[in-house]
Chain A
């Protein structure tokens, strides 16, 4: 008989994505008195997606701060507080609204440490949600993570599962540099196993969600679920083994995991809900082209949101959004072109 000295695995419970986010916030607020959260309708109302429900009651109005509708103003305020040693966590209600605060995010938070000659840190966490499919229209659906990948300065997580929603957010809050955590409005009600208590998921570690030998599908956020649906159908109906990789963070990109998989399968499909043009998929395709050209057996394919505004009417919106059938078609195409 051997005695294990490894810590016992944390107890898992089933939680919704929303409650996993809320739990990370609650644990970090309780753990570190320098943290506070701020945003529109996050206090008394509990947030439009209820991710901050109950936190005002527990932590009080100094730590759970309702703001006016003034994204640039309160993001800038959070930056100033971060310079002064606080660890602010800001909610931007819809990712579309980051454009209103773009100067504070990308000209200020992303640059102040560097511009200071490494004399200051900006430990700012920004939470927001993106995503298409709920009929929220062209200004409440957009997926802007590529902006934040393009401008150096933010680490960017886009969790697909409740456990990662908790673990990535907790890691973000503890980092000394700006972090963006992008949730998906359609994922808040989904359920999954989530470890109890302290749980940290490191940035920069993708996860192989489903193993397969024929083709690599790389996705992040809700697109992971679209990829998984496609992979299941391909396996059952056509006997195609698709390996699905959840990037979990788009900054930094875990190219090691992606390249390891592509070297085995020789084929790559990248899936995201954001527009295709100059997106995360383009970056991954370029890097795989640079680093694994010799291993590719077929051209890389991207399946992404269309390069047009998100439409409102349900059939149009559904046509805009990449569907499992679109992913399956791309997989068949890369297999055919071998």
Chain B
């Protein structure tokens, strides 16, 4: 057994669990505030939240190294924050501020910071998969042992480019991890009505990928699955498809009437809320209730302070409207 695999198998200690718990709390609080910001009109357009899915980006990041880049989707706040985009920069982007991670040019759907390993989050379903393949191809050409991650939902597995990307990754043995956050719903439609297989991993297996399922509500389970896949990829063994079972406790977007599911179903999944799972583990590992509550309060305070800071930041100057345009765009009236 290699060192990485041994570490993965050894499980998380109390300090790792505590760090993961803090990060998940930050993401949860960030998204709860984002929903509020949408209703107050401070976030324009829409925002797509992943409340309930926090264990997947946080668990994945625990298994990976600096330099392992992720290409997330428009439901990607958790990935952006797990990869180290500061809370205030992320809020500033949601609020359309010049200090935002994308200088206010992208908004909630497009959080990105390439120097931190976050590709511009993609608002076209499954479009990020081949882009992650390209990151992996470049790493392979350069002889780097980094891996690339494409994170996406169950609905993405019905897009043509999903299938193209999986096949490309296999034939070129790319060091890429396809992490499917199966939250059971393809926007507002049950995924089981939209696919002809019981398990989404079976689709990937058909292309010759290594596959894994894991409990997407448990940081440790996600970390273990991702560590195994990363180990394979770094060793030249090619891509892995991971299906992480999870659930979105919020709607597809604010205002979603959620007529497609029952209250009972939501409550059943709530019992497995990744924050509750983490909390139980912390108690089991001997962390006191008082310490846990202190961590919760501190995380909430950090997130609220970050929002205050972002709110005070200036919007982009219209004089810089052309920032990021190529020389061939005609930015004149």
Interface residues of A (CB under 8 A from B): 36, 62, 67-68, 70, 72-86, 88, 103-104, 107-108, 112-120, 152-155, 177-178, 203-204, 251-252
Contact = CB atoms under 8 A, between A and B. Distances in A.
A252 B134 contact: no
B135 A84 contact: yes
Interface string B313-333: 000000000011111111000
SS of A interface (majority)? mixed
Contacts of B110: 115
A104 B130 contact: yes
A70 B171 CA distance: 13
Nearest to B115: A119
A104 B165 CA distance: 12
Interface in B60-79: 69, 71
Given A77-B130, A79-B131, 15 more contacts: A68-B171, A72-B164, A73-B164, A73-B165, A73-B167, A73-B168, A74-B164, A76-B127, A76-B164, A80-B119, A81-B134, A83-B114, A114-B105, A114-B323, A115-B105
A258 B134 CA distance: 40
12 contacts: A70-B164, A74-B164, A75-B130, A79-B130, A83-B135, A85-B138, A112-B120, A116-B105, A116-B112, A117-B323, A152-B325, A152-B329
Contacts of B134: 76-84, 86, 88
Interface stretch (B27-35, B95-103, B217-225, B243-251): B95-103
Interface string B167-196: 110010000000000000000000000000
Contact of B133 (A36, A76, A103, A116): A76
A80 B69 CA distance: 11
A115 B112 contact: yes
Contacts of A116: 102, 105-106, 112, 114, 120, 324
A115 B102 contact: yes
Nearest to A118: B324
B138 A117 contact: no
B210 interface: no
B93 to A, nearest CB: 9
A107 B164 CA distance: 18
Nearest to B139: A84
The 4 closest A-B pairs by CB, nearest first: A80-B134, A76-B130, A73-B164, A117-B103
Contact of A77 (B168, B323, B329): B168
B204 to A, nearest CB: 15
A68 B130 CA distance: 13
A77 B176 CA distance: 12
B127 to A, nearest CB: 6
A108 B328 contact: no
B113 A115 contact: no
A108 B323 contact: no
Interface string B129-166: 11111111111010000001000000000001100110
A68 B326 contact: no
Contacts of B327: 177
B133 A73 contact: yes
A146 B138 CA distance: 31
A74 B326 contact: no
B124 interface: yes
B104 interface: yes
Contacts of A88: 134
A113 B323 CA distance: 9
Contacts of A120: 114, 120
Contacts of B168: 67-68, 70, 73-74, 77
A98 to B, nearest CB: 14
B198 to A, nearest CB: 26
Contacts of A79: 130-131, 134
Contacts of B127: 76, 103-104, 107-108
Nearest to A76: B130
Indicate the member of B127, B132, B164, B323 with the most A CB atoms within 10 Å. B164
B100 A72 contact: no
Nearest to A74: B168
